[in-house]
Chains A and B, each alone.
Chain A
Amino acid sequence: MSKFGSMSRNSVATKFLMPWLVGAFVLTVLPLVATILLSCMEWDGVDPSQARWVGFDHYQHLMDIKHDQDHDSATRVDVNRDPFFYRSLYNSLLFAALATPLSLFVSLLLALMLNAPLRGIAVFRSLAYLPHVLGGVATILIWSWVFNPTFGPINQTIEWAYGVLDPVVRFFGGEGTGSWLLPGWLASETWCMPAVVCMHAWTAGGAVFIFLASLQRVDPDSQAAALIDGANRWRRFRLIVLPQLTPAILFNLITGFAASMQSFNYAYLLYNRAQNDGLLFVVLYIYRCAFEPPYRLGYASAMACVLFVILLVLSSLTFITSKWWVHYES
């Protein structure tokens, strides 16, 4: 009887779990295995009989391991490593390395500001969160106008500031600001990355509510005790508030880094020739290899696997270091 009871309980659980379980296997586990298998194949995705097993050739090509010269060297044309892959990987890593800390800083600052018992604070909280949900194609188009090198409001403001500074510079014996250049933003190789990092930081409000939740758990007694001990504002923040926020910081660090390494829209929508591949993100390069002729699904999968390993290693390292700086209350 009891066995029957537990069986039926098992089957009820399975019933509720089924949609997710099917999804987890068909849409996550199997594709993961498929990506790894595909990365050892050459296939254009059209005719399954054309698929060819090539072993670790793609990885060798990506990592520029010297090929055995005697071994069918005539068929190998492209022995040099793929420069675009390294460029794109560098761009994505740079973007993630800049955008993740900046976003974290912005959202933490917003959360600290918004953690006050003021009337109407809820409205401000919602406003701070809003860019996070609006971030998409529409706001990227808006931002690309804001960064327009000639007519955009940012460069217009900078030009105005140059005008104001001009007499000052002349006063100190300079040549005036007439020769000072305006940043080319999305039409320049050097400035496209800062522009996109800024766009990304604008959507940082997503973490505000997580930080607010942690802030509201900060023990008021320890705050008061520190106040009596004569700790100043900064010390109170660093020694009492910040440690309580570290679990949320760790969470946002890992998810934010993974998300920026995988960001596609900026690179795809804002691409132009003047950037000289300065915005070629690794995900965009993978997309182009896989979904544009000659449809190299195997090669693209190999790059995807490399990306996965990089993310796995970096997240694990972050997680391992967390035991030195993340504080869980006991």
Chain B
Amino acid sequence: MRADAQYRAVRYALVSIATGLLAMPLIVAILVALMPIDEVYSLPARLIPSRLEWSNFTDAMRRLPFLRFMCNSLVVSACAVMGAILTSAMAGYAFARFHWKSKRFCIVLLLGCLLIPAQILLIPHFILYSSLGWVNTYKPLIVPAWLGGGAFNVFLFWQFFRTIPRDFDDAAKLDGASHWIILTRVMIPMAKPVTATVALLSFVYHWQDFQRPLIFLSDFQTYTIALGLRMYQTAGGGWINLVIAASLVAILPVLVVFVITQRHIGPCARVVDQEAPGRPS
């Protein structure tokens, strides 16, 4: 019994140290964001501000159109997340429930898409979007999410849908439900772990995406928050505390989405891990 208590204590200590180390940069950031600027640049450096300068946060938002950037990013990410969930669930449903002539080819295509590095496609994407007149709009950021939303998401839905017994489909079919109804009313609600994981992954992807907005957006009124923070970085040489305050506010939405969805990641990873193809069963 004593050994068990000891084991627990050691485990808790290890885990706390590890997560504490991971939290360190964020703790430093919060302290710097609350410091008056003369204390930030004082030697020997101080860790704890002498007074908490909460006005740093409001100052930071006034320096550049911060709220505009946040709204732009919210619009892009929200639209993209909806598209990614819907279209990747549709493709996942087709892979999990139908057999058609070229299915083998489609599976190869899906795995191929997973393996092709996104970076090498950027130049043709730029040519495509500029010839469509989409540069400086959000279409290059949102439309790809509505076209399958990434091979990995399709793969996640496919693997999860495979674990749902077909009895549910059959029951719904007896009630006269169409495939569309089965997908949206039966399958997606039953696949909550995957839906939540895909929502998190694609929200994070679009919120943090920096390179594609950099290439496709040029008018700063359309900037997403990632580009906005870059403006803070280049402009804010002398007010690093405000730059960091802005950075902290910019990660809040990710934090919110993460808190809502995080409990589903584990179950999703577990199911996909068990169902992964190539694993002889």
Measured CA separation A262–B211 after assembly (Å): 11
Flag if A24 contacts B266 (CB, 8 Å): no
Give the number of residues in B that approach A within 8 Å (Cβ atoms): 98
- By beta carbon, the residue of chain A nearest B259 is A126
Measured CA separation A196–B109 after assembly (Å): 34
Flag if B244 contacts A142 (CB, 8 Å): yes
Cβ of A187 within 8 Å of any chain B Cβ, yes or no, is: no
Flag if A20 contacts B120 (CB, 8 Å): no
Please indicate the chain B residues that have their CB under 8 angstroms from the CB of A139 in the complex.
25, 247, 251
Known: A16-B94, A330-B280. A283 touches B119 (CB 8 A): yes
Interface of A is mostly: helix
What 0/1 readout, one digit per residue, does chain A (174-212) give for beta carbons within 8 Å of chain B?
Answer: 000000000000000000000000000010010001101
Cβ < 8 Å to A, chain B residues 112-171: 112-113, 115-128, 130, 144, 146-149, 151, 154
Measured CA separation A12–B128 after assembly (Å): 30
Measured CA separation A131–B91 after assembly (Å): 30
Flag if B15 contacts A19 (CB, 8 Å): no
What 0/1 readout, one digit per residue, does chain A (16-47) give for beta carbons within 8 Å of chain B?
Answer: 11011111101111111011001000000100
Flag if B28 contacts A142 (CB, 8 Å): yes
Closest CB of chain B to A120's CB: distance in Å?
9
Flag if B91 contacts A20 (CB, 8 Å): yes
Cβ < 8 Å to A, chain B residues 233-281: 233, 240, 243-244, 247-248, 250-251, 254-255, 258, 262-263, 265-266, 268-270, 272-274, 276, 279-280
Give the residue of A22, A151, A304, A328 whose beta carbon is less than 8 angstroms from that of B43. Answer: A151
Cβ < 8 Å to A, chain B residues 38-54: 40-41, 43-45, 47
Please indicate the chain B residues that have their CB under 8 angstroms from the CB of A26 in the complex.
128, 147
Flag if B26 contacts A212 (CB, 8 Å): no
Give the residue of B121, B274, B276 whose beta carbon is less than 8 angstroms from that of A35. Answer: B121
Flag if B119 contacts A142 (CB, 8 Å): no
Flag if A17 contacts B128 (CB, 8 Å): no
Closest CB of chain A to B245's CB: distance in Å?
11
Please indicate the chain A residues that have their CB under 8 angstroms from the CB of B214 in the complex.
268
Measured CA separation A35–B123 after assembly (Å): 7
Please indicate the chain B residues that have their CB under 8 angstroms from the CB of A21 in the complex.
91, 106, 148
Flag if B273 contacts A248 (CB, 8 Å): yes
Flag if A153 contacts B45 (CB, 8 Å): yes
Measured CA separation A308–B270 after assembly (Å): 31
Please indicate the chain A residues that have their CB under 8 angstroms from the CB of B87 in the complex.
19-20, 23
Flag if A137 contacts B23 (CB, 8 Å): no
Give the residue of B11, B28, B90, B95 whose beta carbon is less than 8 angstroms from that of A19. Answer: B90
Closest CB of chain A to B40's CB: distance in Å?
7
Please indicate the chain B residues that have their CB under 8 angstroms from the CB of A304 in the complex.
119-120, 122-123
Interface of B is mostly: helix
Please indicate the chain A residues that have their CB under 8 angstroms from the CB of B255 in the complex.
130, 134
Please indicate the chain B residues that have their CB under 8 angstroms from the CB of A13 in the complex.
94, 98-100
Closest CB of chain A to B79's CB: distance in Å?
14
Known: A129-B265, A146-B25, A330-B280. A141 touches B118 (CB 8 A): no
Cβ of B226 within 8 Å of any chain A Cβ, yes or no, is: yes
Cβ of A223 within 8 Å of any chain B Cβ, yes or no, is: no
Give the residue of A32, A146, A213 whose beta carbon is less than 8 angstroms from that of B28. Answer: A146
Please indicate the chain A residues that have their CB under 8 angstroms from the CB of B208 in the complex.
135-137
Flag if B244 contacts A19 (CB, 8 Å): no
Flag if B273 contacts A114 (CB, 8 Å): no
Give the residue of B45, B100, B117, B269 whose beta carbon is less than 8 angstroms from that of A10. Answer: B100
Q: Most chain-B Cβ atoms within 10 A of its Cβ — which of A10, A138, A156?
A: A138
Please indicate the chain A residues that have their CB under 8 angstroms from the CB of B225 in the complex.
137
Cβ of B32 within 8 Å of any chain A Cβ, yes or no, is: yes
Flag if A287 contacts B211 (CB, 8 Å): yes
Cβ of A61 within 8 Å of any chain B Cβ, yes or no, is: no
Cβ of A269 within 8 Å of any chain B Cβ, yes or no, is: yes
Flag if B116 contacts A28 (CB, 8 Å): yes
- By beta carbon, the residue of chain A nearest B32 is A145
Flag if B124 contacts A34 (CB, 8 Å): yes
Cβ of B183 within 8 Å of any chain A Cβ, yes or no, is: yes
Flag if A116 contacts B266 (CB, 8 Å): no
Contacts A19-B87, A216-B270, A264-B211 known; list 17 others, CB within 8 Å. A10-B98, A13-B100, A17-B90, A20-B91, A24-B151, A26-B128, A139-B251, A142-B25, A142-B248, A153-B45, A209-B266, A210-B269, A213-B270, A265-B210, A297-B127, A305-B120, A328-B279
The 9 closest A-B pairs by CB, nearest first: A23-B147, A20-B148, A136-B208, A31-B124, A20-B91, A13-B98, A138-B247, A34-B124, A213-B273
Can you report 24 residue pairs joining A to B where beta carbons are below 8 Å apart? A16-B91, A16-B93, A17-B106, A19-B91, A20-B147, A23-B87, A27-B125, A29-B109, A30-B124, A118-B15, A129-B262, A133-B204, A133-B254, A133-B258, A136-B226, A142-B25, A156-B44, A202-B22, A213-B272, A247-B276, A262-B119, A268-B211, A297-B123, A304-B122
